[in-house]
A = this chain, B = another copy of it.
Amino acid sequence: MLITLTTDFGWGSTYVAAVKGVLLGMNPALRLVDLTHAIAPQDLKHAAVFLAETIPWFPAGTIHLIVVDPGVGTERNLLYIEAGGHRLLAPDNGCWLPAATRLGGPLSVRRLADNRYWRNPVSSTFHGRDILAPVAAHLSLGLSPDALGPQVQTWVALHLPEPVIRDGHLEGEVLFVDAFGNLLTNIPGTDLALMANHSAQVEIQFNELDERAAVVKTYSEAQPGALVALASSWGTLEIAVAHGSAARRLGIGPGARIIISLCQDGGD
């Protein structure tokens, strides 16, 4: 049985190791897969983007344990979610919703309520270890989800920002920056692939910044150091510097709102 782990605990933190210990302590046959422990602390949008881009690749039947939980210790619920044959365990803060939407939408959502399946006592600050991990282990051992708690029809919603068209420009957001310094946005990139063969250019505006980027199919079509726009491997607009870092060059990070316009005059 596969369980993936997604947390904001930091790689190698005691919290991650404790969660792994609780899971394997209850079911030594589990196979754990680290997705990431580098979600920015308590950053629900980061978690939501990460989960939506990664969870759908896993096989149906996988249990996904998600511990990004700024509300720990408040009255917020903890949830069990079924979507597309996957099973998610997460706090009721919405970070799981875009992933579930990509999986076809949540089919069943339950509020974790029966503390017989929790660690006893439950701490005030670490429900990942004390509730979510034991529940995941019980599920992996065959416990029916019905036993966890009642179905709920409402939950906290979190939707990823949608790009908008304004005055003929596309306005969108940088969702994340990868290790190469490429900027991954929420702006659809489908048209870019078609434009890539016609020396098209786009104009990128962000605060005072106003730069042009050649539209390419892949990084290596451009000279090293050139700013380019392309369709990312996720299908959205990506801004990159060939053999360099667009994040450093433009001074742009996650959350930046950018405006994209197609240049009328082609290459210059």
Contacts of A212 in B (CB 8 A): none
User: Judging by beta carbons under 8 Å apart, are A125 and B24 in contact?
Assistant: no
Taking CB atoms and an 8 Å cut-off, the chain A residues in 118-133 that contact chain B are 123-126, 129-130
User: Judging by beta carbons under 8 Å apart, are B123 and A233 in contact?
Assistant: yes
A57 to B217, CA, bound (A): 39
Contacts of A13 in B (CB 8 A): 36, 178-179
A49 to B143, CA, bound (A): 34
A13-33 near B? 1/0 per residue, CB < 8 Å: 111111011101100100111
A215-232 near B? 1/0 per residue, CB < 8 Å: 001111100000000111
A193 to B125, CA, bound (A): 12
Taking CB atoms and an 8 Å cut-off, the chain A residues in 1-20 that contact chain B are 2, 4, 8-18, 20
Question: With contacts A24-B58, A220-B71 known, is A179 near B41, CB below 8 A?
Answer: yes
Contacts of A34 in B (CB 8 A): 12, 34
User: Judging by beta carbons under 8 Å apart, are A73 and B24 in contact?
Assistant: no
Contacts of A54 in B (CB 8 A): 14, 17-18, 21
| Chain B residue with Cβ nearest A35 | B17
10 tightest A-B CB contacts, nearest first: A73-B218, A21-B57, A12-B36, A10-B179, A126-B233, A12-B38, A17-B54, A123-B233, A17-B35, A124-B218
Question: Is A50 close to B, CB under 8 A?
Answer: yes
Distance of A22 from chain B, by nearest CB (Å):
5
User: Judging by beta carbons under 8 Å apart, are A21 and B55 in contact?
Assistant: yes
Distance of A215 from chain B, by nearest CB (Å):
12
User: Judging by beta carbons under 8 Å apart, are B220 and A56 in contact?
Assistant: no
A59 to B26, CA, bound (A): 7
Question: Is A42 close to B, CB under 8 A?
Answer: yes
A25 to B59, CA, bound (A): 4
Question: Is A114 close to B, CB under 8 A?
Answer: no
Distance of A43 from chain B, by nearest CB (Å):
11
